Structures are given as C-alpha cells and as structure tokens.
Chain A
Amino acid sequence: GAVVSQHPSWVICKSGTSVKIECRSLDFQATTMFWYRQFPKQSLMLMATSNEGSKATYEQGVEKDKFLINHASLTLSTLTVTSAHPEDSSFYICSARLRPSSDEQYFGPGTRLTVT
C-alpha cells in the first residue's frame, strides 16, 4: 500500500518550452503532496507544499510563476516547469502524506528533467 507514481520518469525538452510532471497516489487519497528538487549528488530541497483544492505554498526562493503546481484532486498533483532553461535540469521528486495527521511521507520514483 501507499504507492506514489510519477509520470514521466524521464523527459527532455528544449529551452523555452514547458513541461508537466504528474504525481499520483495510487492506492490512497492524499490531501497534501510535496515537491522536491534534487541536484546531482545533493540532497532533496523542498520546493512547495501542495494541498488539494487550494494554492500551493512555495518555499523561499522558489519562483511561483515558473514552477506551477496544481493539486486538483486527492490523488493527483502536477508540477509544470514553464519556459524551461538548462539550469532547471534536475531530478524532481514528489511525495504524498497518507493522512492529514500522519508524519510519514511516501515518495514517488522521481522525474529526471533535461533541458537542452
């Protein structure tokens, strides 16, 4: 149980285009999902907290207009990287909280974005 999927697992896009990454909780409803970014050989940095039906809360330094997050249902959150640039190339990982009161997050397998 508590499986989180991401799609696509790997994407290459040209500079200036936008790309959407999906995060789904497959066997549970997640009121809260988190989006992380991980640079090569570095730790995960929280980008934003996504709550179903409301606006995402972004961490300091994360551009809201560049990284659009939508949490339209209890099983799906999307991250859209708009006008992507090579410096946006990274590993993006989402996680979902099983219950509102739960301290545990379940992580997706990640999406590797390469911007050329």
Chain B
Amino acid sequence: AQSVTQLGSHVSVSEGALVLLRCNYSSSVPPYLFWYVQYPNQGLQLLLKYTTGATLVKGINGFEAEFKKSETSFHLTKPSAHMSDAAEYFCAVTTQSSGDKLTFGTGTRLAVRP
C-alpha cells in the first residue's frame, strides 16, 4: 500500500518569499509522485510529476520539486511567492502495481501575504 503525508495543513508566506510545501511518501515499490494545485471550487491542475530519471523536476508557474529516495520526500518549492499562488496544494503518489490509482495527501493551504 502507498501513502502520502503532507506536513502542515496551512502555510503562510509573504509575497516574494520562498515557498516550501512538504510531502513524504510511503511505497514498497518505486513511486510516481505528483503535485496538484486546486483553486476554490475547481478541479485539480497538475503542477509537476516525477516518474523516473532526473530527480529535480520543474513544473508550471515556477514550481519545482525534488525526489529524494533516501528521505522518502518530494517537497514542493518556489523561490518567490506570488499572490496568485494562494491555493490548496495536494501531493499524490501512485505506482505501476496499484493500477495507477492516485493516493492523495490531505493537502496544504497556501496563503500569500502582501
């Protein structure tokens, strides 16, 4: 079975500050990891994903995440927060053996202060 833990249900940063959203996973087989963003009353939009290859992946809107197997982590970062980044962020994991079913974390709500 696979699982995802997102530390911090709420994160608040100042505009222009570094954004760091934490995600740790548990999987007995190589994971595929995803970060999604959800704006109010909307579906999820893929920010970035890691499947194989380069462990530092870059996504849309200036976000990036690094897969660290030794730490079982896939933290999401952005060097400089923008007001439009305020949203709910979900980390998710799947594996080939799970039939590509996504298991989501509980989400982190990012607030950006002016």
* A-to-B contact residues, CB < 8 Å: 4, 6, 32, 34, 41-46, 49, 93, 95, 97, 102-110, 112
Contact = CB atoms under 8 A, between A and B. Distances in A.
Contacts of A102: 100
Interface size bucket, B side? 20 to 34
A34 B43 CA distance: 13
A44 B104 contact: yes
A9 B5 CA distance: 30
B32 A43 contact: no
A103 B32 contact: yes
Interface of B: 32, 36, 41-46, 49, 51, 90, 94, 99-107
B49 A104 contact: yes
Contact of A4 (B43, B51, B103): B43
A93 B104 contact: no
B42 A43 contact: no
B23 to A, nearest CB: 12
Q: Which of B51, B103, B104, B106 has the most CB of A within 10 A?
A: B104
